[in-house]
Chains A and B, each alone.
Chain A
Amino acid sequence: MAGFLNSVKRKLNLASSANDGRGDPVVAELRAALSPDRVRYDGAERALLGRDASVFDGGVSGPVCFPVTTAEVQAIMRIALKHERNIVPRGAGTGLAGGAIPLGAPIVVVVTKMDKVIEVDYDNRIAWVEPGVVNLDLTRLLHRTGFHFAPDPSSQQVCTIGGNVANNSGGPHCLAYGVTNAHVQAIEVVLPSGEVVMLGGLEAEPAGLDLRGAFVGSEGTLGIATKIAVTITPDPPAVKTLLLSFNTVRDAANTVSQIIAAGMVPAALEVMDQRITVAVENYVNAGYPRDAGAVLLAEVDGLPESIAVDGDRIAEIGHANNAIEVRVAANEEERAALWKGRKTAFGAVAQIAPDYYLHDTVVPRSQLADVLEKIYEIADRHDLLVMNVFHAGDGNLHPLLVFDARDDGVIDRVHAAGAEIVRVSLEAGGVLSGEHGIGVEKQQYMDEFFTSEDLVHQNRLRQAFDPGCRTNPGKVIPTGHSCADIQALKRVPAGVWA
């Protein structure tokens, strides 16, 4: 690790000894409140945390803190308040919309060391977790107990539950089980004022405003979650996974629409086009057909009597839409291989080009086929390769623009194509994001979707939690509707750019 950090330092021309923050009173107070080794200020660390998994750069981190308790998060907030410094909470940094990028050299609060599963309460069917618990680790912990944590974003092997709360994350199985908001019952939050509050509760109907619901998906702008009560979901006794192959993406998309129209809500309905299935086959040999124009991965779960009926109906609808093959996973091994292919799809594109830009919009299911055709046309026109792998059951598109950033002008073409993809999604009656969030990526489109008055009201919620707009400033709401954000970003303390 040290070797890697040193190589980064050399690349970035950063010397760790050049500025260790000793002259900064904020750093001194943070080190006194936490411990010296958990408040870092060397250039390499700050450079690493200047980015997240998005394509956006330009972030500059101030002091980087690794708290381990709510009291330490509270202390950080109070020090930030005292010195009028901004705060950016951060989990594993897997966000794709730039939500964790530090703007204006804020104090970055990394919660990955708050990674304990505090309690599993089977009576109330919840688990109390710290925000740094990795999504899949909770499900692994619950293995053989008959329960799991339902939200399953593709990054679930590394993303944190705190990050899932911030982004209201989804995943393939959210079609039937709902996104993160439906699985969060209570959240302990340190507000920007330093106060600690418990939002929501385990009661049937927690009293008062649903501030829990407002906090989920707020992308780290309303405070820092330090403890979360998440619902644990019973494992279904039976699962049937089908792989349907089609000559065209349109046939696959129409099958999805008709499955929903037939009154079924399968556990998952995922579509992959031929470009991505071939890449996946080369990568992990998941068992996908290389010659199909598109495949649909459909999964139903529940009682054996129930999934038998639904599995047959899905196969019938597939055949009615010209399926060239309908294959049912014969055993758990085959099922795991099919899902491994889907979940490693983004990694598989590295064999085609070194860079990709993953988009995230939602359109009405009935519009899937038409919008996909437009997306292929947009990519062709900009001389880009696009691959499509997406949560078809809820209309959540993930066009993947694959490119080599070293090619002249390619970044401009990627952004131009991306803007057109967003706009065709909106024109089809869709929304800007289904699960990645707005971050900095989609702020520029917010006033093409919402009216000025709508954004004013979103900012009212923000200001109730964070009157100074010091927590993750410059995100979600366009700055024109969030004047305090602009002010906050102007308060960059002297010396932090060093």
Chain B
Amino acid sequence: MTSARLAVTDKVLLDFAAEVGETEAVAVVGNKTRWDLGGESESGTRLVSAPTGIVDYVPDEMTVTVRCGTTVQELHAALAEKGQRTGLPERGGTVGGALAVGENSLHVLGRGRVREAALQVRYVSDDAKVVTGGGPTVKNVTGFDLPRLMVGALGTLGLLAEVILRTNPIPACTRWVRSTNIDPFAVNTMVLRPSCVLWDGTNTWIELEDHPGAVDAEQARLAEAASVEEVEGPPSLPEYRWSLPPSSLRAPAPFNAGPWVAAVGVGTVWASEPQPTSAPDPGVAALSHRVKEQFDKGGRLNPGRKPGVR
């Protein structure tokens, strides 16, 4: 038998696996932009950092291989030189952190969900092996979809080391407009694919991205329905992130105790108070527990963190 195509020979990844080792509690740390999400890391946990650097960027394939300790900002700066970007949010964190947390970019309508960004993942397992899931091409159904499982798992099933991400072209024109008298829930009937629609109860901000002529046409269509003005960008966002079905934004009572901004058509709300916790469905919780037992029986990967706990 020939050796497997996805066999890992990169010494940098193998060294990272050796550093993770096979014993003791261990957590991977990025830039700590979401360090408390899912609960505090258990004290005494040994911290390691994922390797850094862009390994292979192929603009013509719209894919990039990047080590997970690389910051999203650094990655996007390199991609921008070729007119591309990814769906990962830029908030000062690392690629691995963005994937482990799984929170979408503000521009999710235009750039896609984080859970769809990873084509291939390489992570270090509980027993210090470098495991690959997915594959290098933009379309792939070879085997079970481990990349989807790793996104949002907070590093509790494996420590992300390197990923291949899908890249997307940066549109020729990006423009933000604001209106105080438009129906935010009607925007997506006037505009084909807004990259972002934000609403704070009074103002509506809309991000239009396309060819310049198309953006002009979209803006003109909005102006037929309401007064709109060009603005620099989105508003500042309150601290706490809520996750709701898009339809529930029509009645903002649950989150409007203070200033808030809602992503219309998405269901994310940035509010002044944290979202109340809700108990997970017992069946799903039990299934999630069995997944954790399978991937990390000893509970040594990122102990203390629980995906889904705010």
Cα A276 to Cα B123 in complex, Å, equals 43
**B44 on the A face (CB < 8 A):** no
- Report whether B144 and A462 are in contact in the complex, using a CB–CB cutoff of 8 Å: yes
- Would A123 and B247 be within 8 Å (CB), given that A449-B135, A461-B144 are in contact? yes
Residue in chain A with minimal CB distance to B246: A124
**A264 on the B face (CB < 8 A):** yes
Interface stretch of the complex, out of B19-27, B47-55, B232-240, B264-272: B264-272
Interface stretch of the complex, out of B197-205, B223-231, B253-261, B287-295: B287-295
**B188 on the A face (CB < 8 A):** yes
- Report whether B294 and A464 are in contact in the complex, using a CB–CB cutoff of 8 Å: yes
- Report whether A204 and B308 are in contact in the complex, using a CB–CB cutoff of 8 Å: no
Which of B116, B170, B245, B250 has the most chain A CB atoms closer than 10 A to its own CB? Answer: B245
- Report whether B143 and A477 are in contact in the complex, using a CB–CB cutoff of 8 Å: yes
In the complex, what's the smallest C-beta–C-beta distance from A433 to chain B, in angstroms? 5
In the assembled complex, which residues on chain B have CB atoms less than 8 Å from the CB atom of A446?
142-143
In the assembled complex, which residues on chain A have CB atoms less than 8 Å from the CB atom of B246?
123-125, 202, 204
How many residue pairs at the A-B interface have CB separations less than 8 Å?
A: 274
- Report whether A454 and B131 are in contact in the complex, using a CB–CB cutoff of 8 Å: yes
**B73 on the A face (CB < 8 A):** no
| Size bracket of the B interface | 35 or more
In the assembled complex, which residues on chain A have CB atoms less than 8 Å from the CB atom of B288?
208-209, 211
Residue in chain A with minimal CB distance to B129: A453
In the complex, what's the smallest C-beta–C-beta distance from A321 to chain B, in angstroms? 14
**Which of A213, A364, A442 lies in contact with B149, CB distance below 8 A?**
A213
Tell me the chain A residues, 434-453 only, with Cβ under 8 Å from chain B.
434-438, 442, 446-453
Which of B148, B280, B285, B310 has the most chain A CB atoms closer than 10 A to its own CB? Answer: B148
Tell me the chain A residues, 120-178 only, with Cβ under 8 Å from chain B.
121, 123-125, 167-168, 170, 174, 178
**A236 on the B face (CB < 8 A):** yes
- Report whether A476 and B144 are in contact in the complex, using a CB–CB cutoff of 8 Å: yes
In the complex, what's the smallest C-beta–C-beta distance from B263 to chain A, in angstroms? 7
**A460 on the B face (CB < 8 A):** yes
Interface stretch of the complex, out of A13-21, A60-68, A214-222, A371-379: A214-222
| Interface mask (B130-158 → A, CB under 8 Å = 1, otherwise 0) | 11110111111111111011011100011
In the complex, what's the smallest C-beta–C-beta distance from A428 to chain B, in angstroms? 10
**Which of B2, B137, B152, B295 lies in contact with A457, CB distance below 8 A?**
B295
Tell me the chain B residues, 57-108 only, with Cβ under 8 Å from chain A.
58-62, 83-84, 102-104, 108
**A498 on the B face (CB < 8 A):** no
Cα A208 to Cα B291 in complex, Å, equals 12
- Would A450 and B139 be within 8 Å (CB), given that A197-B283, A211-B287 are in contact? no
**Which of B141, B169, B290 lies in contact with A263, CB distance below 8 A?**
B169
| Interface mask (A310-351 → B, CB under 8 Å = 1, otherwise 0) | 100000000000000000000000000000000000000000
In the complex, what's the smallest C-beta–C-beta distance from B8 to chain A, in angstroms? 8
Interface stretch of the complex, out of A81-89, A100-108, A282-290, A299-307: A299-307
In the assembled complex, which residues on chain B have CB atoms less than 8 Å from the CB atom of A461?
144, 146, 149, 291, 294
- Report whether A181 and B140 are in contact in the complex, using a CB–CB cutoff of 8 Å: no
- Report whether B243 and A209 are in contact in the complex, using a CB–CB cutoff of 8 Å: no
In the assembled complex, which residues on chain A have CB atoms less than 8 Å from the CB atom of B18?
none
**B213 on the A face (CB < 8 A):** yes
Beyond the given A204-B246, A446-B143, A476-B143, please list 5 additional residue pairs across the A-B interface where CB-CB is below 8 A: A125-B246, A202-B247, A261-B59, A394-B137, A451-B132
25 contacts between A and B (CB under 8 A): A197-B281, A199-B284, A202-B245, A202-B247, A202-B267, A204-B243, A204-B244, A207-B309, A208-B280, A208-B288, A214-B148, A217-B145, A218-B144, A265-B62, A302-B214, A303-B192, A362-B135, A394-B138, A433-B141, A434-B140, A447-B4, A450-B142, A452-B4, A457-B295, A463-B294
Chain A interface (Cβ < 8 Å from any Cβ of B): 121, 123-125, 167-168, 170, 174, 178-179, 181-182, 191, 195-199, 201-214, 216-218, 234, 236-237, 257, 260-261, 263-265, 302-306, 309-310, 362-366, 391, 394-396, 426, 429-438, 442, 446-455, 457-458, 460-465, 467, 476-477
